Amino acid sequence: MPSYLLRVTARFDAAHHLTSYKGSPEPVHGHSWRVEVALGAEGLDAEGMAYDFVEVQAALRELVAGVDHRDLNTVPPFDRTSPTTERIAAWFFTSLAERLPAAPLEEVTVWEGPDCSATYRP
């Protein structure tokens, strides 16, 4: 049986700093972030789609709008915990799962630049 893996991406720019990097707070700095959402499906619906890209894009854009051009350390839940790329990926996954409970989310990858990323899989 065929299976499908869909990907939806969004970008945002934001500052952050790790609250304890090797024992000390890190200086505030910024990144051009990219979020990549992966959805899995075993088959297609009657319209020939595994899942509607438009729904995922809308939910992802809503989340990105809340962090774009912000200091992530001031945005909940990162105002209480160090905003590592790993935690940001988990936050995007959990937030998308809440907004799209029927979406077959597999993983979320967050890139903090062109060469470094973290992937969250529940």
In total, the chain counts a number of residues equal to 122
Please tell me the predicted confidence (pLDDT) of residue 1.
63
Phi and psi torsions of 37, nearest 5°? -105, 130
Please tell me the predicted confidence (pLDDT) of residue 115.
96
- 0.75 surpassed by pTM: yes
Each residue's pLDDT expressed in tens, for the chain with a length of 122 residues:
679 999 999 999 999 999 999 999 999 999 999 999 999 999 999 999 999 999 999 999 999 999 999 999 999 999 999 999 999 999 999 999 999 999 999 999 999 999 999 999 99
Q: Residue 92: which of 31, 12, 4 has the closest Cα?
A: 12
**All domains of the chain in start order, with CATH:** 4-120 (3.30.479.10)
